[in-house]
Amino acid sequence: MPHLTRPRPGALAWLLLSACCALPLSAQSTTIAFKGARIIPVVGAEIPSGTVLVQDGKIIAVGANVSIPANAQVVDATGKVIMPGIVDTHSHIGGGAGGDRSDPIQGDVRIIDAIDPKDDGIQRAQSGGITTANIMPGSGHLMSGQTAYVKLRDVNRVEDLLVCRDLMTEICGGMKMANGTNPRGQPPFPGTRGKAAALVREQFVKAQEYRRKIQAAGSDSTKRPERNLEMEALVEVLDGRRTVHFHTHRADDILTVLRLRQEFGFKLVLQHVTEGWQVASEIAAAGVPTSVIVIDAPGGKLETVGLQMNNARILDSAGVLVGFHTDDGITDSRWFLRSAALGIRAGLSRETALRAMTINGAKMLDLDRRIGSLEVGKDADLIILSGDPFSVYTHVEQTWVDGKKVFDLSDPRDALYARGGYDSIRDGIYEVHADMEDHN
């Protein structure tokens, strides 16, 4: 178990001083050295034993021979493995729901307004080493709302989870869409695939009109159309500034998504892509990235009977950018590394598996300049593992976001989120689980 060396007295005084004077956190210069670990930077070669140096939430050095400043807080990770924090490109943690049953297309709805930063799902995901997630509304709509790109920080306000800085001026997520069986239903929901595509097309055409009117108005605000929040979001989609995350399973449904994209030119990530292995060359030709779900068995619904463990391998071989996702609670964030491991079992290269869990996901969220690898200048999002990332015997021991520790397996309370039973603390089980310490 790695341990933190005590802060030097001077540093402690500085911490106290800054706390009492309510200085913004960025005003303190905190340097942390993670030393002794096998480092998997994902971008760049593995370092058998090295140091990651972090200052004020950013990585300032990675290497075998990094000199550790005297004032640095040292995390001894000797014998451990350090890799970038995991990126989950499709999750439902936070307890939120998006659109309601009033309409199949609700592009104005924002999942951010429904996420509880104190939801246990966030702590469970931290225990699984996830540091960044694309939290989405569900798949029961053609368009169920705007997604949120979040960092799994320990915060009270949902705004403080967001990767972006200003919700009012920046685009802080994508747009969730779905086809296939999930969005079907009684009117106004579509009853057939043809109708589903028609409804989406109609809405995008409206958005094109809306955009044309805005462009025609130019700087003359009196000529602008009335504000329409859904249209505004769809214009962001049409402009390629808001990525569409499209839930789709069957091969024909995947190709329908590619046709819609060709017609309207939006930026796209294919989500689930259960039968992607059947149309891998078409996906590759379109240059569209895919986020694959790994489920223990096919079926459970008609459009997932074609699920194969080698989906990621086939897509990767075809030249498609591949990531994975939890779809939490469909699969459990705590064991997300297992998804990539099962991909390796079915032939995916270890290198691609590592990228799929980190930098590839970051690319899909347009965050690869900030996260997804251990490189100088990137956010200090990293995890400390007890062993190889893809072994069943390996546990996530620590999770760090922006240079702050958000999960520590040696803390009995955190351990409960990793193992389960956290809601039975009130029954006095806390001690029982603490007994498991020797199995970390």
Token duo for residue 113: 């307004």
Q: How many residues bind other proteins (CB under 8 A)?
A: 37
User: Could you tell me the smallest distance in angstroms from the CB atom of residue 431 to other proteins?
Assistant: 11
Q: What is the smallest separation between the CB atom of 248 and other proteins, expressed in angstroms?
A: 15
Would you say 38 and 81 are in contact if contact means Cβ atoms under 8 Å apart?
Answer: yes
Residues 236-295 that bind other proteins (CB under 8 A): 295
| 390 touches other proteins by CB under 8 A | yes
Q: Is 191 in the site for other proteins (CB under 8 A)?
A: no
Q: Is position 1 an interface residue for other proteins (rule: CB under 8 A)?
A: no
The 313-332 site mask, x for binding other proteins (CB under 8 A), equals: ----------------xx-x
Least distance from other proteins to the Cβ atom of residue 6, Å: 31
Residue with Cβ nearer other proteins (246 or 390)? 390
> Which stretch of DSSP H or E encloses residue 165?
none
Residue 436 lies near other proteins (rule: CB under 8 A): yes
CA dihedral 41, 43, 44, 46 (to 10 degrees): 30
Among 67, 71, 78, 424, binds other proteins (CB under 8 A): 424
- Residues of this chain, 62-121, that bind other proteins according to CB under 8 A: none
Residues numbered 332-361 forming contacts with other proteins, rule: CB under 8 A = 332, 335, 338, 341-342, 344-345
What string of DSSP letters covers 170-223?
A: S--S-EEEE-SSTT--STTS-SSHHHHHHHHHHHHHHHHHHHHHHHHHTT-GGG
Member of 9, 22, 297, 431 binding other proteins (CB under 8 A): 297
Q: How far is the CB of 94 from other proteins (least distance, A)?
A: 15
35 touches other proteins by CB under 8 A: no
Choices 87-95, 315-323, 390-398, 403-411; region in contact with other proteins by CB under 8 A: 390-398
Determine, following the binding rule CB under 8 A, whether residue 61 of this chain makes contact with other proteins.
Answer: no
How far, in Å, CA of 301 to CA of 182, rounded? 10
Identify the residue among 298, 319, 369, 411 touching other proteins (CB under 8 A): 298
- Amino acid in position 251: A
State in Å, rounded, how far the first CA of the chain is from the last one: 8
Per CB under 8 A, does 38 bind other proteins? no
| Tokens (6 digits) for 335 | 């064991």
Report in angstroms how near the CB of residue 30 gets to other proteins at its nearest: 34
Question: What does DSSP say about strands 244-248 and 175-178: parallel, antiparallel, or unpaired?
Answer: parallel
Which two three-digit tokens encode residue 66?
Answer: 């990094």
- Give residues with Cβ within 8 angstroms of 154, minimum separation 6: 404, 406
Is 146 among the residues that bind other proteins (CB under 8 A)?
no
Question: 63, 185, 225, 421: which one contacts other proteins (CB under 8 A)?
Answer: 421
- Where on the phi/psi map is residue 175: left (φ > 0), alpha (ψ -120 to 50), or beta? beta
Of 206, 404, 405, 419, the residue at the interface with other proteins (CB under 8 A) is 419
Q: How far is the CB of 9 from other proteins (least distance, A)?
A: 39
Of 103, 60, 312, nearest in space to 199 by CA: 103
The span from the CA of 84 to the CA of 82, in Å, is: 7
Pairing of strands 143-146, 175-178: antiparallel
User: Is residue 206 involved in binding other proteins (CB under 8 A)?
Assistant: no
Look up residue 274 and give its two tokens.
């259960």
The binder of other proteins chosen from 9, 21, 168, 393 (CB under 8 A): 393
Residue 411 interacts with other proteins (CB under 8 A): yes or no: no
Task: For the chain, state the CA radius of gyration.
Answer: 23
**Helix 412-419 and helix 120-127, axial crossing angle in degrees, nearest 10:** 90
- Residue 392 touches other proteins, criterion: CB under 8 A: yes
- Three-state DSSP at 385 gives strand
Determine the longest span between alpha carbons in the chain, in angstroms: 70
Paired tokens of 68: 């550790």
Contacting positions for other proteins (CB under 8 A): 295-302, 304-305, 329-330, 332, 335, 338, 341-342, 344-345, 390-395, 419-424, 427, 429, 432-433, 436, 439
